[in-house]
A and B are shown apart, each in its own frame.
Chain A
Amino acid sequence: MSYVANTTAQRTEMLKACGVARVEDLFADIPAALRPKSFDLPSAKSELEVLNALEALSQRNFSHLVNFLGGGFYDHFIPAAVDAITSRSEFCTAYTPYQPEVSQGTLQAIYEYQTQICRLTGLDVSNASLYDGGTALCEACQMALHATGRDRIIVDGGVNPVYRKMLDCYTANLSIRFAEISVTHGQSDRHQILAALDDQTAAVVLQNPNFFGVMDDHRDIVEACHARGILVIQSVYPIALSLLKSPGEIGVDIATGEGQSLGIPLSFGGPYLGFMATTRDLVRKMPGRLVGRTTDRNGREAFVLTLQAREQHIRRNKATSNICTNEALCALRAHVYLSLVGKTGLKEVAELCYAKTQYAKSRFKQIPGVEVMESSPTFNEFTIRVPVDTGDLVGTLVERGIAPGLPLGRFYKGMENYMLVAVTEKRTKYEIGKFAEELEAALRK
């Protein structure tokens, strides 16, 4: 399949205009010694053949399992209008809005997306998006280090372990000191965190609800941090934000999070959406694109990329971050999703998640041998302890058509018998009941 348009006759005419006989003459700058030793690739395929080949591969994936997997990435419902709008060519096949006159659609959509994130997080400024929740968290840490001139970061053990691994990777070449504080009863350990604060600490990194789904009110930690000039970074779950205290309400300085739950498919790990919001004081330290509202020559309202002096294409090695492209189309998905569910709908999604999670807990509690960890209230995830090896148990349930949850031994030492179970609004009472029955049957064996 070829997507080029020019015919042989046109190519001949064009070559003539360029004053060369063959296309190959245009490549004369590439020395003969540097020509490819091989270019061994399969030959072209028709559209039908490609679609058939990929369809066959897609069917080798077990995407049909009833999904109780979460860990920061959730199987939420996506209204049809999200795809209808974001597949519009005018959004999908445009680029970064460098020329505002022909990009007002993208620019206004980003401005509106920034507004949605500000309203959800209760903070002043959101950027146009970052790659994912993990890179957003890493960028927030960089921001805090620059803003304070300090070199130490305290990370709560309830922060997604995948993000903590990313943070290790991102900071491997910089001299930054980390302290990690393990959770107690599933919640942030006040005693340990407060004891760890010192005058070299740039930021404390928290997550709400945390990796175990546990809800918290971090206001006391924020107050203790601010008293010592320490910034607080909170990673948040946007669906939960419709019900839970917003970062802005408790004085958080930088909120970040994964926006996948806002109308973005799971798609085996990406593309996702990193969001970040902060206070006006920190806006010049913030990475990423930022859209501002202004007026044009004729006094008409207009939108433009602004404060670009923070960015790599202007500041080069002194930029706040190396990020160039963001996740504009994913941000648009989130914006369309939030517009569709709206003020009431987002709360309903969250309430359904919460109610079904509570129901699942009540069912699981009745299963002999299963312990539901309940020392602190959780939002749409919870931890269970089982009396057998989680690996074998997971295998049995997968055979029954259920992706039962995430074994925690992989991320936390000593939690080999624990599993993290997530419940979204998509799960029905029947599916939860079936999971409980299959779990009970598997344990009886």
Chain B
Amino acid sequence: MSVIFEKSIPNRRGVTLPASDVPPPAPIPQQYRRGKDAALCELSELDIMRHFIALSQRNHSIDTGFYPLGSCTMKYNPKAMEVVARMPGFAGLHPFLPQLRYGGMLVQGALAVLYELEKLLIGITGMHAFTLQPLAGAHGELTGIMLVAAYHRKKGNVKTEVLIPDEAHGTNPSSAAIAGYTTRAIPTDAKTGMLDVDALAATITDKTAAIMLTNPNTLGIFNSHIARVVEIAHAHDALVYYDGANLNAILGKFRPGDAGIDVMHINTHKTFATPHGGGGPGAGPVGVREHLAEFLPISRVEKRRDNTYFLNYDYPNSIGYIAPFYGNFGILLRAYAYILSLGREGLIEASEMAVLNANYLMHNLKDVYDLPYNRTCMHEFVLSARKQVAHGVSAMDIAKALMDYGFHPPTVYFPLIVKEALMCEPTETESKETLDAFIVAMREIAEKAATNPDELKAAPLTAPVNRPDELKAAKDMDFAAL
């Protein structure tokens, strides 16, 4: 499909602006003006609608079909939350308004949302306080590690490294590195699929600033030894960072705060159903235990005795401004409406159904695909295409073949510790009928791997393109139509 700039017709217009109602000003001095107009496109509104609708039809999305992309939690995004985010009283609100004198009184509705959301997150996680400012999960990780650094700095601790399990998301080590720490990997126990606690005990030193833990981890396994991990870390005055990427599996079953976790983040798109948007925007609230609260970013939203809300900037030990304002408010608003909507029982049900759906899929696939960690899973599980590789069919071939069945593939080649990984996460909003259809497809593919591998290697045949040449892309470096 041709890029939009190729469709441009000189002098065609998409939007008409009001005529100026003020006297023409003296022109902008020549020395500041650009030499040549920016070559933007010239199209009618209908041209533009057709272009983008045609593009949209070249995407798979949750609303078009099953999307079991492990670790990404592609659950249904309820539409009421979109209505809330577009309410003019929220969408039209200027972020500097509360910074006028008494300006907090001009945004009481927005501050109430932020304050109440923080209280709900505290109830869900058992943490002491939250900042809602981080603009995505990875941004939350960075904020969390900065809080760790601030804690150690204030105590005069000399800490240089962060320990991270080898199955962790890549954002963990890169967040730690950007906050100034070196990182060391801790192996996963090959039998249990959990962090090797003995290896942790042998590796940790007084130089360890923190250990970052995802629980359930990226294999979809809940680490039952988390209390022991916390104990080992705290004995060295190392803090425990809980990556809440998989919080959606354990709502009402486990709260990080109860286990002595020091700092954690939440991905609102994973647990609280905010739309993934093709890769953002997200929000990554960070929760802390009491001893880290003084370091949280400013401002913080607080409530007065008369039940009015205000922004408090008076935290001298705060790490400062992690975001320009109060976080990705439009996203936080959706998460707030979602939590209100589901309520206590709905959140518990969401986790239970996510786990049941995952186990059901796993039980119906583990005889035809290798399951390296064969045990009850939480919200996701990791298969390996090892058996199929014997026929020359890779995890990637299976992924591409699934597209011809109308499904988005699972996550492939992650976590790195499983060879030929196929990481499946069905989420709670999928029905048994959908799961059954997926099982049929996966089993058929496994059969074809043995009988007709070439068919799988030719897939996908129904998609707009077939296996784009990634090496060519890296070599050509064609990043823009210039």
Which residues of the other chain, A, contact B28 by a CB distance below 8 angstroms? 215, 243-244, 354, 377, 379
8 examples of A-B residue contacts, CB within 8 angstroms: A38-B126, A60-B108, A60-B109, A94-B62, A95-B279, A315-B170, A315-B174, A344-B13
The one of B22, B276, B363 that contacts A93, using a Cβ cutoff of 8 Å: B276
Residue of B nearest to A56 (CB): B109
CA distance A116 to B3 in the complex (A): 11
Knowing A95-B67, A321-B178 touch, does A36 contact B126 (C-beta < 8 A)?
A: yes
18 further contact pairs, Cβ within 8 A, besides A324-B169, A355-B23: A1-B346, A2-B342, A6-B357, A19-B363, A65-B97, A98-B69, A109-B55, A114-B479, A115-B481, A125-B479, A128-B279, A129-B280, A245-B33, A266-B91, A267-B90, A271-B330, A294-B473, A345-B14
Which residues of the other chain, B, contact A303 by a CB distance below 8 angstroms? 468
Which residues of the other chain, B, contact A72 by a CB distance below 8 angstroms? 324
Knowing A11-B356, A98-B69 touch, does A294 contact B41 (C-beta < 8 A)?
A: no
Residue of B nearest to A298 (CB): B466
**Any chain A CB within 8 A of the CB of B285?**
no
Nearest-Cβ distance from residue A377 to partner chain B, whole angstroms: 6
Nearest-Cβ distance from residue A153 to partner chain B, whole angstroms: 16
* Chain A positions 130-176 with a Cβ under 8 Å from a chain B Cβ: 131-135, 142, 162-163, 165-166, 168-170, 172-174
0 or 1 for each of A388-429: is its CB under 8 Å from B? (1 = yes): 001110110010000100110010000000000000010011
B43 lies within 8 A of A269 (CB): no
Residue of B nearest to A160 (CB): B324
The one of A13, A27, A325 that contacts B280, using a Cβ cutoff of 8 Å: A325
**Any chain B CB within 8 A of the CB of A352?**
yes
CA distance A429 to B109 in the complex (A): 31
B429 lies within 8 A of A3 (CB): yes
| Partner-contacting stretch, out of B138-146, B232-240, B383-391 | B138-146
Which residues of the other chain, A, contact B252 by a CB distance below 8 angstroms? 36, 39
A268 lies within 8 A of B479 (CB): no
The one of A31, A116, A267 that contacts B330, using a Cβ cutoff of 8 Å: A267
A325 lies within 8 A of B136 (CB): yes
B106 lies within 8 A of A172 (CB): no
CA distance A62 to B103 in the complex (A): 10
0 or 1 for each of A239-278: is its CB under 8 Å from B? (1 = yes): 0011111100100000000000000011111111000000
Residue of A nearest to B362 (CB): A18
**Any chain A CB within 8 A of the CB of B306?**
no
Which residues of the other chain, A, contact B18 by a CB distance below 8 angstroms? 352, 425
A428 lies within 8 A of B468 (CB): no
Nearest-Cβ distance from residue B12 to partner chain A, whole angstroms: 8
A326 lies within 8 A of B146 (CB): no
The one of B67, B259, B403, B414 that contacts A34, using a Cβ cutoff of 8 Å: B259
Which residues of the other chain, A, contact B13 by a CB distance below 8 angstroms? 342, 344-345
| Partner-contacting stretch, out of A78-86, A177-185, A223-231 | A78-86
0 or 1 for each of A101-130: is its CB under 8 Å from B? (1 = yes): 111111011011011101110101110110
**Any chain B CB within 8 A of the CB of A330?**
yes
The one of A96, A132, A133 that contacts B278, using a Cβ cutoff of 8 Å: A96
**Any chain A CB within 8 A of the CB of B441?**
no
Residue of A nearest to B23 (CB): A359
B346 lies within 8 A of A44 (CB): yes
**Any chain A CB within 8 A of the CB of B337?**
yes
A26 lies within 8 A of B355 (CB): yes
Which residues of the other chain, A, contact B72 by a CB distance below 8 angstroms? 95-96
**Max chain A Cβ within 10 angstroms of own Cβ: one of B13, B14, B280, B364:** B280
**Any chain A CB within 8 A of the CB of B64?**
yes
* Chain B positions 258-279 with a Cβ under 8 Å from a chain A Cβ: 258-259, 273, 275-279
Knowing A14-B360, A57-B113, A407-B101 touch, does A293 contact B59 (C-beta < 8 A)?
A: no
Which residues of the other chain, A, contact B25 by a CB distance below 8 angstroms? 354-355, 358-359
A111 lies within 8 A of B319 (CB): no
Which residues of the other chain, B, contact A293 by a CB distance below 8 angstroms? 473, 476, 478-479, 481
Knowing A36-B126, A94-B276, A328-B280 touch, does A101 contact B35 (C-beta < 8 A)?
A: no
B62 lies within 8 A of A173 (CB): no
Knowing A62-B107, A106-B59, A328-B280 touch, does A165 contact B77 (C-beta < 8 A)?
A: no
Residue of B nearest to A350 (CB): B28
Nearest-Cβ distance from residue A230 to partner chain B, whole angstroms: 23
| Partner-contacting stretch, out of A195-203, A332-340, A364-372 | A332-340
CA distance A30 to B194 in the complex (A): 13
Which residues of the other chain, B, contact A169 by a CB distance below 8 angstroms? 146, 297, 319-322
Knowing A114-B480, A322-B141, A329-B281 touch, does A355 contact B22 (C-beta < 8 A)?
A: yes
Knowing A114-B479, A292-B476, A295-B468 touch, does A10 contact B15 (C-beta < 8 A)?
A: no
B344 lies within 8 A of A39 (CB): yes
* Chain B positions 296-341 with a Cβ under 8 Å from a chain A Cβ: 297, 319-331, 333, 337, 339-341
A102 lies within 8 A of B95 (CB): no
0 or 1 for each of B68-111: is its CB under 8 Å from A? (1 = yes): 01001011111010111111111111111101111100111110
Nearest-Cβ distance from residue A211 to partner chain B, whole angstroms: 12
Residue of B nearest to A67 (CB): B94
Which 9 A-B residue pairs are closest in the complex by CB-CB distance?
Answer: A269-B325, A58-B89, A44-B343, A329-B277, A271-B281, A89-B63, A60-B109, A391-B101, A269-B95
**Any chain B CB within 8 A of the CB of A437?**
no
**Any chain A CB within 8 A of the CB of B380?**
no
CA distance A12 to B56 in the complex (A): 38
**Max chain A Cβ within 10 angstroms of own Cβ: one of B41, B76, B99:** B41
CA distance A346 to B177 in the complex (A): 41
B69 lies within 8 A of A95 (CB): yes
Which residues of the other chain, B, contact A390 by a CB distance below 8 angstroms? 101
A270 lies within 8 A of B42 (CB): no
**Any chain A CB within 8 A of the CB of B135?**
yes
Which residues of the other chain, B, contact A302 by a CB distance below 8 angstroms? 465, 468-469
A4 lies within 8 A of B350 (CB): yes
**Any chain B CB within 8 A of the CB of A217?**
yes
A31 lies within 8 A of B171 (CB): no
The one of A36, A54, A428 that contacts B84, using a Cβ cutoff of 8 Å: A54
CA distance A406 to B465 in the complex (A): 51
B330 lies within 8 A of A407 (CB): no
B279 lies within 8 A of A345 (CB): no
Residue of A nearest to B1 (CB): A108
